[in-house]
Chains A and B, each alone.
Chain A
Amino acid sequence: MRNLIAFFQRFRIFLVFALLQVVALSMYFTYSDFPRFQMLTTAGAINAEILTIRNDVTKHFNLEETNKQLQWENKRLREKLKNSLYKENKGVITVDDTLFRQNYSYIPATVINSTFDKRDNYMTIDIGKNHGIKRGDGVFSSRGVVGIVHLVSDKYAVVKTVLSKNINIDVMVEKGGSFGLLKWNGLDAKRGSISGISNDMRIKKWSKVVTRGGSGIFPRGILVGRVEKKGYIEGKPLWDITVRFSEDFRSIQHVYVVKNLMQEEFDTLQQQIPEDSEEPEL
């Protein structure tokens, strides 16, 4: 017993160090996969409050840019309005309301904190459970795809942005429709890559890359970026495609959260797809 106490006294510094280190590291490595203590992130109330105050100050610096973006988006939407279109054959087309049902709805949000230079980048937005969003909802802005909701508290949410390791959003090249998963290499906030496109597909430089809508998180056709470069991967029949993001993550202010109103139906259907069994059946 005395030896044990002596041992603890001798190595007490190292033991305290090791204990705290284990706490910190286990927190770090489990957090990104299984968020547990929400208090300890920017979705927590006090922390979000501090960052909201900061954002209240700094948001005015980007006001001009933000206005321009919103104006541009308004222009696009206005052009789609009925009264800015000319009806070619009057009376032939009847608009039947029951023909369309709302599939996606969008909730606007303000970004109060974001990073772009880490290996995994997150941003905090000012809406949460009270506004009806949940973990796994898609997030995009007027310029392009932003990320996926990762943690939700009552009033705030943390979004895992496209600039992270395992973001894997379903995307496709608009022309030709070849699809793959979006990845990020951790270095350049302006560029990402697509993996899984077979290299016998024809892909034109600067063709648009959009979401595929494959997992029901995003509607089909939200802009991600443009194909900047393509190259061969040694030993694999795949293209190495570099995408230049249309979103500028360094100056992001306003985003929309996507709610898929038919997600449940979609998921139950998807679950019925038989999975490939790992071991061959005998």
Chain B
Amino acid sequence: MRGIILHTVRFIVFVLFQVLVLNHLEIQWGIYPMLYPLFILLLPFEMATVPLLLIAFALGLSIDVLSNTFGLHASSALIFAYFRPVIFKLFAPRDGYENTEESNIYTMGTRWFIYSFGLLLLIHHTWFFLIEIFKLNEILLLLRKIGLSVPFSFLLALFAQFIFSSKKKSER
């Protein structure tokens, strides 16, 4: 029960932060930071993939509705959610994920976070900009957008973890 409330609140916070703050950051050079993939990463481990996909779809669609992207974020969030179990299996620690309830940087370690979240974020951003631009002759623009936005989003997610997840570590 506590988990449901926590994740619902998080859902709203992530959507509003993306729509009201990140969408309005005035950075040039094609940088477009996206923080909401972190929400999908932070969903519980034991969650089955189908509800995961549905939640990701709802998350993406809420952002779309508020930023006139008509399904672009929904599609990218789906990609992220679809690859989450795959990547988790790929970087699984030796004793599995049994004792951990949430996949943040403190419970899983920095190395794991960089590898799995970094890779998922790369997939997500590549898909996002690929669909957004959708023109083969603008491949340089595409690469530039991916190359600049992924590190930015990653750092943002890292900071968000440092600020908001640190409390849980001291509880343990």
The reply to whether A16 and B70 form a contact with Cβ atoms under 8 Å apart is no
The reply to whether B133 and A186 form a contact with Cβ atoms under 8 Å apart is yes
Check if B23 is an interface residue, CB within 8 A of chain A: yes
- Describe B's contact surface by its main secondary structure: helix
The reply to whether A117 and B70 form a contact with Cβ atoms under 8 Å apart is no
Task: Give the Cβ gap from A195 to chain B, nearest Cβ, in Å.
Answer: 15
Check if B30 is an interface residue, CB within 8 A of chain A: yes
Check if B141 is an interface residue, CB within 8 A of chain A: yes
Interface centre among B50, B53, B70, B138, by most A CB within 10 Å? B70
The reply to whether B66 and A31 form a contact with Cβ atoms under 8 Å apart is no
**Known contacts A21-B75, A54-B20; A119 and B53 CB within 8 A of each other:** no
Interface residues of B in 55-97 (CB under 8 A from A): 57, 60-61, 64-72, 74-75, 78-79, 82
Interface residues of B in 11-56 (CB under 8 A from A): 19-20, 23-24, 26-28, 30-32, 49-50, 53-54
Check if B132 is an interface residue, CB within 8 A of chain A: yes
The reply to whether A189 and B28 form a contact with Cβ atoms under 8 Å apart is yes
A24: chain B residues at CB < 8 Å are: 57, 60-61, 71-72, 74-75, 78
Among residues of B, the one whose C-beta sits closest to the C-beta of A115 is B23
The reply to whether B71 and A28 form a contact with Cβ atoms under 8 Å apart is yes
The reply to whether B133 and A119 form a contact with Cβ atoms under 8 Å apart is yes
A70: chain B residues at CB < 8 Å are: none
B155: chain A residues at CB < 8 Å are: none
**What 0/1 readout, one digit per residue, does chain A (6-32) give for beta carbons within 8 Å of chain B?**
000000110011001101111110011
Among residues of B, the one whose C-beta sits closest to the C-beta of A32 is B70
Among residues of A, the one whose C-beta sits closest to the C-beta of B70 is A31
**Known contacts A17-B82, A20-B78, A24-B60; A250 and B70 CB within 8 A of each other:** no
B32: chain A residues at CB < 8 Å are: 117-118
- With the chains together, A12 CA to B32 CA distance in Å? 33
The reply to whether A12 and B50 form a contact with Cβ atoms under 8 Å apart is yes
Task: Give the Cβ gap from A185 to chain B, nearest Cβ, in Å.
Answer: 8
Task: Give the Cβ gap from A32 to chain B, nearest Cβ, in Å.
Answer: 7
Contact of B71 among A16, A17, A27 (CB under 8 A): A27
- With the chains together, A122 CA to B67 CA distance in Å? 9
The reply to whether B78 and A115 form a contact with Cβ atoms under 8 Å apart is no
Across the A-B interface, how many residue pairs have beta carbons closer than 8 Å? Answer: 93
Check if A51 is an interface residue, CB within 8 A of chain B: yes
Contact of B78 among A17, A41, A47, A250 (CB under 8 A): A17
**Known contacts A13-B50, A187-B30; A28 and B69 CB within 8 A of each other:** yes
Check if A211 is an interface residue, CB within 8 A of chain B: no
Contact of A31 among B24, B71, B133 (CB under 8 A): B71
Task: Give the Cβ gap from A147 to chain B, nearest Cβ, in Å.
Answer: 13
Contact of B68 among A21, A117, A122, A250 (CB under 8 A): A122
Check if A253 is an interface residue, CB within 8 A of chain B: no
**Known contacts A24-B78, A119-B133, A186-B141; A42 and B66 CB within 8 A of each other:** yes
- With the chains together, A62 CA to B75 CA distance in Å? 35
- With the chains together, A17 CA to B27 CA distance in Å? 33
A21: chain B residues at CB < 8 Å are: 75, 78-79
Task: Give the Cβ gap from B29 to chain A, nearest Cβ, in Å.
Answer: 8
Task: Give the Cβ gap from A250 to chain B, nearest Cβ, in Å.
Answer: 5
Q: Which 3 A-B pairs have the closest CB atoms?
A: A27-B71, A31-B70, A28-B71
Given A21-B75, A25-B71, A26-B71, list of 13 further CB < 8 A pairs? A12-B50, A17-B78, A20-B53, A20-B54, A21-B78, A25-B131, A40-B61, A40-B64, A42-B68, A54-B20, A113-B68, A186-B133, A189-B28
